[in-house]
Structure 1
Amino acid sequence: MATSSYPIFGSQNPRTQVALHAGLKMGQTMGMIVPPIYLLTLAVRKRPFSIRRLMNVTTTWVGIGSIGLGGLVWARMGSQSEEAIFDRCERLKYNQGQLRCDDYSIIGASLGAIVTPAILLRRAPLPTLVFGGASLGLGMGTLTHIIKSFTEGEDVRPEGMVCSLFPRPA
């Protein structure tokens, strides 16, 4: 069976591509929801704001979420046939909404990794700013894609991403 060529993970086998894609989706989700939750938690607890802590919390949760869901999808695919996994990989390859979302998030992560340390250089150690900026950028790129799609009248549904990762049994 030929290996699919999903643009981001094209050199991997289909099972790995789907697991990596799931990890990317969870990273995008965590990058969007963790910063507001962290800020809300600070406001409720009346604690002081810290750039260093925001970057650490965001990086930690994006990493945990990505590795956790990627591993969960990998384990779940163990009982599926190679044809089903290859089919899912091919559907991801040609899903323009997914590809555009991934492009926005990766561009956001790249910009976040560069711009955040440039703006906040003395507020936290450089590695913390680079990884935290990339995590924030991953979420902001995804949020930008969702807002853009919504304002252009496209059908934006959260279950669209989830269904591509966990299809219903036939």
Structure 2
Amino acid sequence: MESPGELAIARAADAEVLVRRSMTKGYQLFSVLTPPIYAATVLYRRGRTGFSLNRFLRATWIGGALASGGLVEYARVSKSNGETVRRRRISAAYDTDSLRADDHSTIGAILFAILTPAIFWKRANIVNLILGGGGLGSSVGILAHYGRTASGDPPPRIVLPGTPISPSES
């Protein structure tokens, strides 16, 4: 049997993983939502003359970074018991759909963080080029994941240890 100190350390580690995952998912969601909303708002209010690449890229990375969702998850985890937190972390670790979405998002973010400054070097601030390009790449990666899933290539399902298989899945 584990001591109360070991249980507290395990719960803290599980909570950290869940909060980090929530922050990643929030960044991915708002990286997808922010660019079209910002572009539509600026084009509607000011027209084409009010749109600049620098402001677009800045809005992309700031929108993703500000709405990360970590506080909400921290509040949820702090009110849950240790067993629930452990079960949620294990479930998240075996969620192949979420893991593949994270992989696509990361690959897209890295590629666009490199390609955006290479293409638009003189048109925007370097910080906005790198971080905004990463935000755009993250959204492109998420959209690629959803497109891949919709086209008939879903990620494989993993049955959690100790979870019975329903008759429809066998």
Q: Structure 2 length normalisation: TM-score?
A: 0.80
Q: Which residue of 2 aligns with 1:63?
A: 65
Q: Partner of 1:152: helix, strand, or coil?
A: coil
Instruction: Give the counterpart letter for 2:53 in structure 1.
Output: I
Amino acid of the structure 2 residue aligned with 1:110: I
Specify the code of the residue in structure 2 equivalent to 1:58: T
Query: What is the rounded CA distance, in whole Å, between the counterparts of 1:47 and 1:29 in structure 2?
Result: 26
In structure 2, list runs of 5 or more residues that go unmatched. Answer: 1-6, 156-170
Residues 67-146 of structure 1: matches in 2 within 5 Å? 69-146=69-146
Report the Cα offset of residue 42 of structure 1: 2.2
1:51 has 2:53 as partner = yes
Structure-to-structure mapping, 1:11-30, within 5 angstroms: 13-30=13-30
Q: Distance in 1 between matches of 2:99 and 2:75?
A: 24
The whole-number CA distance in structure 2 between the counterparts of 1:16 and 1:77 is: 9
Mark the CA change 1:22 to 1:93 in structure 2 (over 3 Å): closer, same or farther: same
Q: Per-residue displacement from partner, 1:12-70 (whole Å, max 9, x unpaired)?
A: 8110110111111111111111111111112211252211000111111101111xx11
Q: How far is the alpha carbon of 1:109 from its aligned partner?
A: 0.7
| CA positional deviation for 1:83 | 1.3
Flag structure 1 segments of 5+ consecutive residues without an equivalent. 5-11, 156-170
CA RMSD, Structure 1 to Structure 2 (Å)? 1.9
What's the TM-score once normalised by structure 1's chain length? 0.80
Query: In the comparison of the two structures, how many residue pairs are matched?
Result: 146
Partner SS for 1:124: coil
Structure 2 distance, partners of 1:150, 1:33, is 19
1:47 and 1:60 map into 2 onto residues whose CA distance is 22
Q: Which amino acid aligns with 1:41?
A: T
Deviation at 1:127? 1.3
Question: 2:43, 2:54 → 1: CA distance?
Answer: 17
Cα 1:118–1:39 change in 2 (3 A) is: same
